[in-house]
Every structure is written in C-alpha cells, then in structure tokens.
Chain A
Amino acid sequence: MTTQTDPQSKLAAYSHPERLVSTQWLAEHLGADNLVVLESNEDVLLYDTGHIPGALKLDWHLDLNDQLTRDYVDGEQFARVMGERGIGRDTTVVLYGDKSNWWATYALWVMSLFGHEDVRILDGGRAAWIAEGRELTTDVPQVSPVDYPVVERDDRTIRAFKQDVLEHLGRPMVDVRSPGEFSGELLAIPDYPQEGAMRGGHIPGAKSVPWGRAANEDGTFKSREELEEIYLGEQGLEPSDDVVAYCRIGERSSHTWFVLTHLLGFERVRNYDGSWTEWGNAVGVPVER
C-alpha cells in the first residue's frame, strides 16, 4: 500500500480494514500524493451540486457500463476512465457516494474486476461527510491524465453469470433485495419503477438479507460484531462458504459483496450482476416464492 491506512478502531476490527477510511482520515489526507477521491452516485448530477474538495466524478452508468452490450467496460475503456482521472495502477482510490455507498461499492467491485489493488470506501459516504458539516465545493479539479495499463477483466473470481448461478444452486446464496421483492410481491425496489422482470420471486435456496441490514442509519457500516451476528449467527454462513449475492442489477449486492468479502473476510463471494432483471426474465430458470 502506498498510502497509510486508517487506524480507527472500529475499522481495525474488520478483516480488511485497509478497505475503509473514515471521514476524519479522508479530511486529513485530501490532496495527498497518489490519492484520488471519486464520487459515484445514483444521480449523475449530484456531484455537480457539490462534492468533497478534489474529488472527481465516476458515473456507474456512463463510465463503468458498456453503452451497447449489457456488460462492464473492457480493459481499454477502463484504462481510459482511470487514466483521465489521473489514476495509475498504484494509485490509492477512495470511493464515496449517495444511498449508503451503493454505487461506491459497485464501483469498487468493478475496479476489483480489473484487479486495482488499493481501492477503499469512505465509511458513511456522501451523507456522513455532509452530516458532519465538512467542506463541499463545486470546483472540478484539473487533472493531468496518466497512463493506466490495459488489464483484462477477470469475470471468474468475484463475478457470477447466470450459468454459474445455475451450477451454484443448493449452495449459499444471499438475496439482498427488499422483503417484497424476495417474496415476489414487488418486481422492483419499493417506490422505484415496477418494471424490469417478467416473474417475481427469488432464486431457489437464497436467503433474504436486505442489504440495508449491514448499514447504520447514517450510512456507515455496522460493526464487525453486529455483522457477524447477522450473517454468521442468524444466517449460518461461514467465511469459508462459496457465496453468491444478487439483487436487481447488482448494485445493492455490491454493498453486501463488500461487507462479506472485506469486512467479514469471506474467501469466495461472487456478485451476480445479471441479478433479478436477468433471472426474472430468463426462460426456464427455477423461481421460488
């Protein structure tokens, strides 16, 4: 690691404390060499209304998704997205965003598909920074582009496709959607457009653990002890389990993927990004209600 990690005690209890930073730590390290802060939100304009000084915008849809095929950007596109933000392969990247860091963890997961080593989440995200009355600016920093290497995306280690999930049936799976979506009563997040799937329900055998159970009201992650109580105690998962997490399009499950992988140290967690918008539309796949 090129940049020092946050020694805060809450973070130190997690399996990979180097994956999180506190608002305090970030405030102290803004402007540090080889540190780039990226804001990743659901709303593409939210960054422009005010952001952490020095932070750059990373849009989940325009920057991380291929605009034609339903897939992530390829190695060349990713290298361009990183390079134009002044990010090199050894840069420490801190991500934060709205919605309890849904899109920040999503971006971290995509960066991990490309094996970017030092990428961290700001605990509590945008909401925590604002709640503490910390500085925001609308100034967009000038960046000197750097060369980011073209790296092949690894779709095998932390990503699951529909076929992988079919082969995984019978093994641990976490459905992180709302209870109404899990039961099949709703086809989308409550209060979100009710569209996008032909069938409601869940993948057979999946446990219902809504993503938000891992977060506190203020958007920060729950403590290690509280997380263990949920995923290990109540759900009976083991850190050595082979787990697949899914939601509707893979954003909320990135949050849970982050929790299981980096906070609780699970060794093999894959995010099924096709999620319910693929499974609920696929012909002939088993559905449980």
Chain B
Amino acid sequence: MAAQFSASTRTDDLPAAMAELAGEFHALEQKDRLQLLLELAGDLPDLPEQYAGRLDEMERVDECQSPVFLAVEVEDDPSRTAHIFLSAPPEAPTTRGFAGILHESLDGLPAEEILAVPDEAPYRFGLAEAVSPLRMRGMVGMLGRIKRQVRARTTLDERQ
C-alpha cells in the first residue's frame, strides 16, 4: 500500500458510479470537496426496517473512530446484485460522508464489480489532502469489509 497516499486521478478501473463521483470531487477545489462530502453524508439513506435498531446484527467497522455499522446482502439473480447498508452517526459527518460515497458508488452493483474495486479506491477522490490522510483509513476499512462480506456471501453460495 506504499502508493496509497499518491493523489491518483485514475478512474477507468472503477465502477461507473464511483468513477463519476470521483470525477465530481476532482472537478472541485478542496473546500468545495468538503461540501460535497457533507452532502453525501446527508444523502446516506436510513437503515431499512430489517436493520434499524439492530446494529448488533451488523458488522462494526473498527477502522472508523466513530461507530459505523455495515451489512451486505447479495441477491440470487444471475448477476448476483449486492445491496449495501451502512450506518454512521450524524455527529461524525466525515465518516458518514465516506459511507455515503461507498453507498452511492457500490449499492446495487453485481458482486463481481464490487470485488474488482481496487482496495486503494478511497484515495481516488482527492480527499486525502482535504481531510488529512490519517482520516482516510476509515474509508479504506469500510471498503475492505464490504468486499469481504460480498466475497463471503458469494463463495459460500457456490459451495452449496
């Protein structure tokens, strides 16, 4: 991960929605990137009924300084569509914004496309300089856990 702090602007290896969002961030100046991150924090949908109030049934993202919880569901359709559920408190807007980016970028994609997302994708949004690289670890952790859950749910099914 030595290259993780380099400000890569490459987007051609990202899923379309993620590439588009990365492009939007890069088109902005630093302070406006923070505003966009804040908007994405606000756009993060509430948890659906099956998870609301049942955080203990979700996975805790330990890499985040605030309590962030994650769940992934993979459908049985041919493309194995994945659904991502994330919860982050409003008093941690940065973390919530990271969750918003990943939700907007990955929710509803085929499992295969999520698994192909590079692990260092969080550094492709030009946010490291705006929020400090130290704070990016939480988003790397979230992505890693999303991919792990997607992998677990798809390989498990293949064995059946």
Contacts and interface: CB of A to CB of B under 8 A. Distances in A.
A191 B55 CA distance: 14
B137 A61 contact: no
Contacts of A98: 91
B115 interface: no
Nearest to B61: A193
Contacts of B35: 48
Interface stretch (B20-28, B92-100, B116-124, B149-157): B92-100
Interface string A128-164: 0000000000000000000000000000000000000
Interface-central residue, A61, A67, A193, A194, by most chain B CB under 10 Å: A193
A194 B92 CA distance: 19
A158 B64 CA distance: 31
A61 B137 CA distance: 14
A61 B62 contact: no
Contact of B93 (A46, A67, A192, A194): A46
Interface in A38-59: 42-46, 48-49, 59
Given A49-B38, A49-B90, A98-B91, A44 B135 contact: yes
A193 B137 contact: yes
Interface in B53-99: 62-67, 90-95, 97
Contacts of A45: 34, 37-38, 41, 93-94, 97, 131
Contacts of B38: 45, 48-49
A62 B132 CA distance: 6
B65 A44 contact: no
A67 B132 CA distance: 8
Nearest to A140: B31
A193 B65 contact: yes
Q: How large is the interface on B (under 10, 10 to 19, 20 to 34, 35 or more residues)?
A: 20 to 34
Interface in A180-212: 191-194
A62 B94 CA distance: 14
Nearest to A67: B132
Contacts of B91: 43, 46, 98
B52 interface: no
A44 B34 contact: yes
A193 B137 CA distance: 10
A42 B132 CA distance: 12
B82 to A, nearest CB: 26
A62 B90 CA distance: 22
Contacts of A61: 132, 134-135
B65 A49 contact: no
A246 B111 CA distance: 46
Nearest to A189: B65
21 contacts: A42-B65, A43-B92, A43-B95, A44-B94, A44-B135, A45-B34, A45-B38, A45-B41, A45-B93, A46-B92, A48-B35, A48-B38, A49-B93, A59-B132, A61-B135, A98-B91, A193-B62, A193-B64, A193-B65, A193-B137, A194-B62
Interface of A: 42-46, 48-49, 59, 61-62, 67, 98, 191-194
Interface of B: 34-35, 37-38, 41, 62-67, 90-95, 97, 131-132, 134-135, 137, 141
Given A43-B91, A44-B132, 5 more contacts: A43-B92, A43-B95, A44-B131, A46-B92, A48-B93
